[in-house]
């Protein structure tokens, strides 16, 4: 009942906002000055991609700050105003922003241009757990690069005068991502094959595992909304002990509680497993740090991984 009321209130405030801002939106905006139009994204990850391609033509802001869990995030009233004033809203889709779905799906009806990056990718590249699509596509750098053309086209549609710039930066971004993808492959090869088991807080790394050849186990499921998504902590601990995995990992946007429970369970089986550090999963690091960009975040994750899994490895 309370849930129904909350949904109803969100819909009502959205309608009120649309009513109030409807006229405002129809006022033509000055085009052509640098940074003269705004893109609102849901996550810091999407914001970084828009910045790479938008350059200084666009002002990019994300609704969720660094370290915020997108599965749990609910739109706030201030967010609705920002969304309705944006010339373009870029989000992930594939149910990443599970608690904002009603707002994001209402955007076409409200006349707000929008793009779901994850949903612009080839469908046969999307992993599924049962019926649910896995939204964590940015963890496969090569796949994330495939979101670039759709974003370039969306920017060109809104600001055709700068189309050449968007296309050029799009090409450069694809090249940079290809180099990053090759670097990740090279680094992962430093982990002995039998140690390539990545145990982390939630199922954010399946694309990473598929692309770079690691087995992954999230203690929680695909979304963080459900606790310990059916994964048996005891069974997981047994596997970690049997394979002599050196480290488990926590995530920057989640509590370490469940991973710590696995560590205790592993210790109870007589195997010493360490904490390899915190991985960035669904959010970048703070702005101004090297992990505050997508590329920096991927590099930081890979360094943490290789250090945690390769160092403690029993070398032949
Ligand atoms: Zn996630």
Whether 19 maps to a domain, the answer reads: yes
Whether 315 maps to a domain, the answer reads: no
Q: How many domains does the chain have?
A: 2
Distance, CA 222 to ligand 1 centroid (Å)?
6
Whether 86 maps to a domain, the answer reads: yes
> Which pTM does this prediction carry?
0.85
- The residue ranking higher by pLDDT, 58 or 233, is 58
Distance, CA 225 to ligand 1 centroid (Å)?
10
The residue out of 179, 195, 224 marking a domain boundary is: 179
Residue 124 pLDDT more than 90?
yes
Q: How many CA atoms lie within 13 A of 103 on its CB side?
A: 29
Same domain, 148 and 236: no
Q: Which of 65-69, 96-100, 229-233, 293-297 has the lowest mean pLDDT?
A: 229-233
Distance, CA 80 to ligand 1 centroid (Å)?
23
pLDDT 10s digits, 100-123: 999 999 999 999 999 999 999 999
Same domain, 118 and 200: no
The residue out of 146, 179, 212 marking a domain boundary is: 179
Helices 163-188 and 44-54: angle between axes, nearest 10 degrees? 130
Element (H, E) at 115: strand 114-116
The residue out of 162, 179, 196 marking a domain boundary is: 179
CATH number at residue 244: 3.40.50.1980
Range of the domain at 263: 186-310
Q: Cβ atoms within 10 A of the Cβ of 173, count?
A: 21
Q: Which residues pair with 199 in a beta bridge?
A: 217
Res 16: pLDDT: 53
From the list 237, 312, 296, 315, the residue with the least C-alpha distance to 270 is: 237
Q: How confident is the model at residue 297 (pLDDT cuts 50, 70, 90)?
A: very high
- The residue ranking higher by pLDDT, 124 or 261, is 124
Distance, CA 109 to ligand 1 centroid (Å)?
28
Cross-sheet strand order for the sheet of 114-116: 58-62, 37-41, 88-91, 114-116
Same domain, 211 and 292: yes
Whether 82 maps to a domain, the answer reads: yes
Same domain, 174 and 196: no
Whether 32 maps to a domain, the answer reads: no
Residue pair 313/285 in contact (Cβ under 8 Å)? The answer is no
Res 129: pLDDT: 85
Residue pair 91/113 in contact (Cβ under 8 Å)? The answer is no
Same domain, 70 and 164: yes
Enter the tokens of residue 264.
Answer: 């205790």
Mean pLDDT along residues 73-102: 95
Distance, CA 205 to ligand 1 centroid (Å)?
9
Distance, CA 66 to ligand 1 centroid (Å)?
14
Same domain, 267 and 175: no
Residue 216 pLDDT more than 70?
yes
**Given its phi and psi angles, is residue 281 left (phi above 0), alpha (psi -120 to 50 degrees) or beta?**
alpha
Same domain, 46 and 171: yes
Whether 30 maps to a domain, the answer reads: no
Res 222: pLDDT: 61
From the list 144, 141, 105, 155, the residue with the least C-alpha distance to 122 is: 144
Same domain, 171 and 196: no
Distance, CA 202 to ligand 1 centroid (Å)?
7
Same domain, 46 and 160: yes
Res 15: pLDDT: 55
Residue pair 61/35 in contact (Cβ under 8 Å)? The answer is no
Res 29: pLDDT: 46
Mean pLDDT along residues 26-45: 72
pLDDT 10s digits, 262-281: 899 999 989 999 999 999 99
Distance, CA 283 to ligand 1 centroid (Å)?
9
Distance, CA 221 to ligand 1 centroid (Å)?
9
Same domain, 225 and 164: no
Residue 9 pLDDT more than 90?
no
What is the torsional sign of CA 20, 26, 151, 134?
A: positive
Whether 316 maps to a domain, the answer reads: no
Whether 84 maps to a domain, the answer reads: yes
Same domain, 192 and 285: yes
Distance, CA 135 to ligand 1 centroid (Å)?
7
Q: How confident is the model at residue 227 (pLDDT cuts 50, 70, 90)?
A: low
pLDDT 10s digits, 130-180: 889 999 999 999 999 999 999 999 999 999 999 999 999 999 999 999 999
Same domain, 149 and 219: no
Residue 186 pLDDT more than 80?
yes
Element (H, E) at 178: helix 163-188
DSSP conformational letter for 33: S
Res 101: pLDDT: 94
Q: State the Cα–Cα distance between residues 137 and 125, nearest whole angstrom.
A: 9
Residue 193 pLDDT more than 60?
yes
- Average pLDDT, whole number, for the chain? 87
């Amino acid at each position: 009942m309370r849930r129904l009321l909350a949904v109803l209130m969100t819909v009502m405030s959205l309608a009120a906002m649309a009513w109030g801002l409807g006229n405002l939106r129809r006022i033509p905006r000055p085009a052509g000055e640098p940074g003269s139009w705004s893109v609102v994204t849901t996550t810091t990850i999407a914001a970084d991609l828009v910045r790479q391609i938008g350059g200084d033509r666009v002002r990019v802001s994300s609704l969720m700050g660094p370290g915020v869990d997108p599965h749990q995030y609910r739109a706030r009233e201030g967010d609705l105003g920002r969304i309705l004033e944006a010339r373009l809203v870029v989000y992930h889709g594939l149910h990443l922003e599970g608690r904002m779905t009603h707002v994001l799906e209402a955007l076409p009806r409200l006349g707000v241009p929008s793009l779901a990056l994850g949903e612009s990718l080839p469908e046969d590249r999307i992993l599924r757990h049962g019926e649910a699509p896995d939204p964590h596509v940015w963890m496969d750098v090569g796949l994330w690069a495939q979101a670039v053309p759709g974003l370039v086209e969306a920017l060109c549609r809104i600001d055709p005068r700068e189309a050449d710039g968007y296309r050029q930066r799009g090409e450069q971004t694809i090249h940079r991502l290809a180099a990053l993808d090759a670097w990740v492959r090279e680094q992962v090869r430093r982990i002995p094959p039998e140690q390539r088991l990545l145990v982390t807080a939630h199922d954010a790394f399946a694309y990473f595992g598929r692309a770079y050849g690691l087995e992954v186990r999230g203690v929680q499921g695909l979304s963080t909304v459900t606790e310990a998504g059916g994964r048996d902590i005891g069974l997981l601990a047994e596997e970690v002990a049997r394979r002599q995995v050196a480290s488990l990992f926590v995530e920057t946007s989640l509590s370490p509680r469940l991973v710590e429970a696995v560590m205790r369970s592993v210790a109870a089986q007589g195997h010493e497993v360490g904490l390899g550090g915190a991985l960035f999963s669904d959010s970048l690091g703070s702005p101004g740090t090297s992990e505050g960009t997508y590329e920096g975040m991927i590099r930081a994750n890979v360094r943490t991984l290789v250090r945690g899994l390769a160092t403690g490895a029993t070398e032949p």
